[in-house]
Structure 1
């Protein structure tokens, strides 16, 4: 199921749809399809489009300061900020985006909860000897967080499994949930489904604060990557909505 969950967004990515339209147009001698594909690729590769779409995911929320967050029983930091790479002695992990980690550290040091929980994110195709949560725990200890205050959930392959894994280890109900702003709506729903009272602490905002410039109309692979993330998140939200509709609450 996890493979299907990851493959479906890929099939609907702007790059794949563009390729299908262009190939169809060439082989069927229908230029309008090829042109439509190229227009889609251009639009998806501009920051004008990427920022507009991402703002719909992130909403109008602003990056908050840890000192302004409410108190909770635990701080829960979701996985998804590290990637496995090949090291001299075998596979190791490197940061891809550390915002979630540092937000969890800031919240703990601000006294917002006595417990810091990292989810045990792990994917079957990744060559790692331990979950992302275990790696993050070690990093948190280097920042002076007592080991007794840090927990790592059981292994999880997606957001729904993360929520279930945290519920299995935490009987308290109030949590501060830390994840990327575009991912927060879906994550919050999954943790509330497990009976948690969730206070959202979104980070990793993608919508830029820059004023518009003509460069925003130029194709940029970074913008295409953001548009692809939008498509993946839309599909993820639809998947979980359908799952909730098909299963009664609490299953």
Structure 2
């Protein structure tokens, strides 16, 4: 129920979609109530310009990405590596016959790097699919097809194929892997997604060491640096707002224990 509701609500709540619909509604209302309609349309249009050209998307993402620093190898033992899904494009992969990924493909590249760095570690990919409609293939199948490209033997990777969101990633990964006390597991996901991911694994009773990748910012807000295009800025803004709403929703529904999970200690 939570999964379906979150997807349906977000379809309308995406800032760029909401502001566009608001502007369109205003123009429609202006046919009968000119002043009110034009005011609503102007509000939607101004919102699109501010979110698209202003620094707000970057500012919101920086706070997320800076929460967990980049991983520093301390030479300690690594028992396993968990890579979360979300970068895969199953529909395009099925249509084109080759593994396709979106901007978060660094997650899969990190799998190849960590497989070589820690040859004794267990490798796990967690992700079934985050779509409401049936998909041509699972995220895990896309990754399986990409393994030869990153130099990883398929027999080395364990797949958790049923999860649809971050909370399920954590819960089902723990059930599959049965981590033992004292084991050290790296968790690979995008930097902006790491706070929610760590919170979910903590709630599932699965301690992990964050290994953030796929950074979208240089670590500074850049208040005086506008985006190159409205489309670029809106992409940042949509992504950041989605993650902040996800944190709030997970906290209010008890899926994470803190509204903004932080590094241990």
- Report whether the alignment pairs 1:223 with 2:233: yes
- Report whether the alignment pairs 1:137 with 2:144: yes
Q: Please, which of 58, 76, 81 is the counterpart of residue 82 of structure 2?
A: 76
Q: Please, which of 47, 64, 83 is the counterpart of residue 57 of structure 1?
A: 64
Q: Is the 8 A contact 1:120 1:133 kept in 2?
A: yes
CA distance in 2, matches of 1:84, 1:108: 23
Residue 232 of structure 1: how far off its partner (Å): 1.2
Question: Structure 1 regions of 5+ residues with no counterpart?
Answer: none
Residue 71 of structure 1: how far off its partner (Å): 3.4
Residue 75 of structure 1: how far off its partner (Å): 0.3
The structure with the largest strand share of the pair is 1
Q: Pairwise mapping of residues 46-125 of structure 1 onto structure 2 (< 5 A)?
A: 46=53, 48-59=55-66, 61-64=68-71, 67=73, 71-85=77-91, 93-97=99-103, 98-111=105-118, 114-122=121-129, 123-125=131-133
Distance change in 2, residues 1:145/1:22 (3 Å): closer
CA distance in 2, matches of 1:196, 1:103: 21
Distance change in 2, residues 1:149/1:245 (3 Å): closer
Q: Is the 8 A contact 2:100 2:142 kept in 1?
A: no
**Superposition CA RMSD, Å:** 3.1
TM-score (norm 1): 0.82
Corresponding residue for residue 4 of structure 2: 3
Q: Pairwise mapping of residues 1-251 of structure 1 onto structure 2 (< 5 A)?
A: 1=1, 2-26=3-27, 27=29, 28=33, 29-30=35-36, 31-46=38-53, 48-59=55-66, 61-64=68-71, 67=73, 71-85=77-91, 93-97=99-103, 98-111=105-118, 114-122=121-129, 123-129=131-137, 131-173=138-180, 174-208=184-218, 216=226, 219-244=229-254
Higher mean alpha-carbon deviation, 16-25 vs 194-203, is at 16-25
CA distance in 2, matches of 1:151, 1:136: 11
CA distance in 1, matches of 2:15, 2:160: 35
1:76-101: CA deviation from partner (whole Å, max 9, x where unpaired): 00001111335797776411131001
What is the aligned length?
Answer: 245
SS of match in other structure, 1:77: strand
Q: Is the 8 A contact 1:69 1:201 kept in 2?
A: no
Question: Structure 2 regions of 5+ residues with no counterpart?
Answer: 258-265
Higher mean alpha-carbon deviation, 160-169 vs 20-29, is at 20-29
SS of match in other structure, 1:151: strand
Q: Is the 8 A contact 2:55 2:221 kept in 1?
A: no
Residue 49 of structure 1: how far off its partner (Å): 2.1
SS of match in other structure, 1:118: strand
1:129-159: CA deviation from partner (whole Å, max 9, x where unpaired): 3x22233234334544344431001311111
CA distance in 2, matches of 1:141, 1:156: 24
